[in-house]
Amino acid sequence: MFRKTSPPPAPGTFPVGRVVVASEGREIAWPVLQQVFELARPAGAAVHVVTIARVWGTSLGFPNPGLNPTRQEWDEQRLIARRAVEAIEKAGFEASARVIGTRRAGKRIVGEARAFGADAIVMGCDGKRGLLGDFSWSQEPYRVRRRANVPVYLVQVAG
């Protein structure tokens, strides 16, 4: 079984029937899609794209509509998901997508991967920023890696 503390296994060393490619709101870069193709190609895996529209918080513990994603933010995430699905289908894989609004991106991505029955998760990430950087939204991929029970492949695309 995969251990969280160890690096993910090399692509092609274990069977991958389902892959989740996730984004905490950033564009899904080409190197991330290449990693997905490398994982999915041996078994012809199904791919599920998950993007997050960020909910900015609560007001005094109660949901506040002003903190929810705007229509523009929803549309931006739908466009990111659509582009990723088109690229994945063009490469010959079966793909689906879902855009989720949440304050807890890591938790929802892992839950979506579990519901999809994913064998691996692939995400783009910034460089690790240490203890204080762990509080920033851009560090969500590292929280997904700590929380997930499947291998999480992080592809550094910025920072």
User: The domain spanning residue 151 has which CATH number?
Assistant: 3.40.50.620
pTM of structure: 0.85
Residue 105 inside a domain? The answer is: yes
Residue-wise pLDDT tens digits, 58-80: 667 676 777 888 899 999 999 99
- In which band, very low, low, confident or very high, does the pLDDT at 3 lie, cut at 50, 70 and 90? very low
Residue owning tokens 């949440």: 102
- In which band, very low, low, confident or very high, does the pLDDT at 1 lie, cut at 50, 70 and 90? very low
* 3-state secondary structure (DSSP) of residue 99: strand
Q: Would you say residue 143 has pLDDT above 50?
A: yes
Residue-wise pLDDT tens digits, 31-45: 999 999 999 998 889
The residue segments making up the domain with residue 42 are: 18-158
Residue 44 inside a domain? The answer is: yes
Nearest partner of 33 among 43, 23, 24, judged by Cα: 23
Total domains in the fold of the chain: 1
Written as six digits, the tokens of 19 are 């892959």
Q: Which of 9-23, 82-96, 117-131 is modeled with the greatest confidence?
A: 82-96
